[in-house]
């Protein structure tokens, strides 16, 4: 059994609530139920709030693990996995809602798979690739961009901002563009620091 300390429980709860986020964002009410009049207006806002809380728990469980000396092997595995699942779920949902071009989601998701594979190779070679500042900035930009895209076309935001709604949409695209660029750059940075792992030396079989 994995060590289910407080930090790991928070991480697991983050994964458990990912389907809740998707149901709120994408879920349709059964035909025999008439949803409240406010639901369509508030649906993306509630989903954005859930996503923000889930994303914020990444810093919480990390802080708890470090300050309480609760860093475990299970936590090292499950924490980055939970982050990737949350971002991946949000990107796929935005593509499904036709709010985000599919190629952007493909670039970001592919980066996560490639870097995860690189880390697996590093572990097999007895090396550990530490998280870089580029990766942390990338994660923050992705979270901010996703929240912006969840809200940028909502009726409530347009009513609140009025003529500034167009500016918010522009900012949303700028942040998403920055997130994509940092996503690619952080991948290049990971490969640069792991270049000796990928190029050898390799052991030859007799």
Phi-psi region of 205 (alpha: psi -120 to 50; beta: other; left: phi over 0): beta
- Rounded-to-integer distance, Cα 156 and Cα 164, Å: 13
**Is there a contact between 150 and 44 (Cβ–Cβ < 8 Å)?**
yes
% of the chain surpassing 70 pLDDT: 89
Which CATH fold topology does 6-199 show?
A: 1.20.120
pLDDT of the residue at 2: 58
pLDDT mean across residues, the chain: 84
Tokens standing for residue 147: 């929240």
**Long-range contacts (CB closer than 8 Å, 24 or more residues apart) made by 186-189:** 186/111, 186/115, 186/132, 186/134, 186/135, 186/137, 186/138, 187/111, 187/114, 187/115, 189/132, 189/134
CB burial of 92-113 (b: ≥16 within 10 Å; e: otherwise) equals: bbbbeeeebeeebbebbbebbe
- Rounded-to-integer distance, Cα 94 and Cα 150, Å: 7
Domain residue ranges in the chain: 6-199
The tens digit of pLDDT for each residue in 86-144 reads 999 999 999 999 999 999 999 999 998 888 777 777 766 666 666 667 788 999 999 99
pLDDT tier at 205, thresholds 50, 70, 90: very low
Residues sharing a CB contact under 8 Å with residue 187, sequence separation 6 or more, in sequence order: 111, 114, 115
The tens digit of pLDDT for each residue in 70-81 reads 777 777 778 888
pTM to 2 decimal places: 0.86
pLDDT of the residue at 19: 93
State the distance between the two ends of the chain, measured CA to CA, in whole angstroms: 40
- Rounded-to-integer distance, Cα 138 and Cα 190, Å: 13
């Amino acid at each position: 059994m994995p060590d289910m300390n407080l930090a790991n429980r928070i991480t697991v709860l983050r994964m458990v609530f990912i389907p809740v986020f998707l149901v709120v964002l994408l879920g349709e009410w059964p035909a025999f139920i008439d949803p409240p009049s406010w639901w369509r207006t508030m649906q993306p806002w509630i989903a954005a709030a859930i996503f923000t809380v889930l994303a914020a728990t990444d810093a919480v469980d990390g802080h708890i693990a470090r300050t309480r000396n609760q860093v475990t092997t299970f936590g090292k595995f499950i924490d980055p996995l939970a982050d990737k699942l949350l971002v991946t779920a949000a990107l796929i949902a935005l593509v499904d809602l036709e709010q985000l071009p599919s190629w952007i989601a493909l670039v970001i998701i592919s980066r996560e798979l490639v870097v995860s594979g690189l880390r697996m190779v590093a572990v097999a070679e007895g090396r550990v690739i530490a998280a870089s500042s580029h990766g942390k900035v990338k994660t923050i930009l992705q979270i901010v961009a996703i929240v912006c895209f969840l809200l940028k076309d909502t009726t409530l935001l347009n009513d609140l901002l009025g003529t500034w709604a167009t500016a918010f949409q522009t900012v949303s695209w700028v942040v998403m563009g920055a997130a994509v660029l940092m996503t690619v750059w952080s991948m290049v940075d990971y490969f640069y620091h792991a270049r000796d792992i990928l190029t050898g030396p390799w052991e030859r079989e007799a």
